[in-house]
Amino acid sequence: MKILYAEDEKALSEAVVEILRHKNYVVDAVFDGQEALDYITSEHYDGIILDVMMPKLSGVEVLKKIRRMGMSTPVMLLTAKGEVADKVEGLDAGADDYLSKPFAMPELVARVGALVRRSGGEFIPDELTVGNIKLNRTSYELCGPCGEIRLSKKEYQMMELLMQNKERPISTERFMTAIWGYESEAEMNVVWVYISYLRKKLSALGANVHISALRGRGYILEV
């Protein structure tokens, strides 16, 4: 299942994303309300988690906008506020659940599970397939007509992101945030280095897909 998590506290975001991915959720993390709205209107999600207090647009503002668009995706609101009036405002705006900070991670995971069950979706499969290649999410093996190669953790994370967004460009900044973390000291060219590794492995596997660079837009997996 695919989750959007909008939270401007970077350390908390990284912790929550790591736990949800460990539970086999696919997670896109964003850090302000406008970015959340952009992602929601361009991709399909089984559940959305919105921090109420965010830059540009609040979680409640984002929620109101997507409900006016007719989107029924289940939404959970997170906030440091615990007053009844704030919860009522969020629920009246169309929220399906509401969790106050600080929260226990097991409770968040349980709430997310209940949230996405409302969407009626199924959990994501153990393998991703694009063209003639398969990515095993348990073993980190990339398989093609000429065999299989076990990927390193970061190679796997990049390949998974590319395959989940096949034929949609992914910016260098998004790779950096999703894989190395918002506060990483790694240089931006590390993304190009790992793209180079993946291109060589795709070629060795006889893949009929390739990773293209789009000037100013990032990288895209094409069949």
Question: Per-residue pLDDT tens for 163-190?
Answer: 988 888 888 888 887 777 656 677 888 9
Q: Residue 208 domain-assigned? A: yes
pLDDT for position 150: 94
Instruction: With cut-offs at 50, 70 and 90, classify the pLDDT of residue 122.
Output: very low
State whether 21 and 56 are in the same domain: yes
State whether 61 and 152 are in the same domain: no
State whether 65 and 133 are in the same domain: no
Q: Residue 131 domain-assigned? A: yes
* Nearest C-alpha neighbor of 210 from the set 161, 191, 152, 201: 201
User: Which one has a higher pLDDT value, 208 or 78?
Assistant: 208
State whether 159 and 78 are in the same domain: no
Question: What are the pLDDT digits (tens) for 28-81?
Answer: 999 999 999 988 887 788 899 999 889 999 999 999 998 888 888 899 998 876
State whether 111 and 161 are in the same domain: no
State whether 103 and 210 are in the same domain: no
State whether 142 and 91 are in the same domain: no
pLDDT for position 123: 46
Q: For residue 148, what is the domain's CATH number?
A: 1.10.10.10
pLDDT for position 183: 60
Q: Residue 122 domain-assigned? A: no
Which residues are CB-contacts of 160 (< 8 A; sequence separation ≥ 6)? 128, 135, 137
From 99, 117, 135, give the residue that closes a domain.
117
d(Cα 37, Cα 153) in Å, to the nearest integer? 30
Which residues are CB-contacts of 164 (< 8 A; sequence separation ≥ 6)? 2, 26, 128
From 94, 117, 140, give the residue that closes a domain.
117
Amino acid residing at 206: G
pLDDT for position 125: 59
Asked whether the beta carbons of 130 and 205 are under 8 A apart, the reply is no
Amino acid residing at 175: F
Q: For residue 34, what is the domain's CATH number?
A: 3.40.50.2300
Long-range residue pairs from 139-146, CB within 8 A, at least 24 positions apart, any chain: 142/201, 142/202, 142/205, 143/205, 144/202, 144/205, 144/206, 144/207, 145/205, 145/206, 145/207, 146/204, 146/205, 146/206
Question: What are the pLDDT digits (tens) for 144-169?
Answer: 999 999 999 889 989 988 998 888 88
Amino acid residing at 215: R
State whether 185 and 113 are in the same domain: no
From 83, 117, 151, give the residue that closes a domain.
117
User: Residue 141 pairs with which residues in a beta bridge?
Assistant: 150
Q: Residue 47 domain-assigned? A: yes
Q: Residue 185 domain-assigned? A: yes
State whether 198 and 100 are in the same domain: no
pLDDT for position 82: 62
d(Cα 102, Cα 99) in Å, to the nearest integer? 9
State whether 51 and 32 are in the same domain: yes
pLDDT for position 76: 93
d(Cα 199, Cα 210) in Å, to the nearest integer? 7
- Domains of the chain: total: 2
Q: Residue 140 domain-assigned? A: yes
Amino acid residing at 30: V
Could you tell me the residue range of the domain that residue 66 belongs to?
Answer: 2-117
State whether 149 and 112 are in the same domain: no
Q: Residue 10 domain-assigned? A: yes
User: Which one has a higher pLDDT value, 48 or 139?
Assistant: 48
* Nearest C-alpha neighbor of 30 from the set 45, 22, 107: 45
State whether 83 and 8 are in the same domain: yes
Question: What are the pLDDT digits (tens) for 72-117?
Answer: 889 999 887 666 677 778 788 888 888 888 888 888 888 898 888 8
Please state at what angle helix 59-68 crosses helix 84-92, rounded to 10 degrees.
20
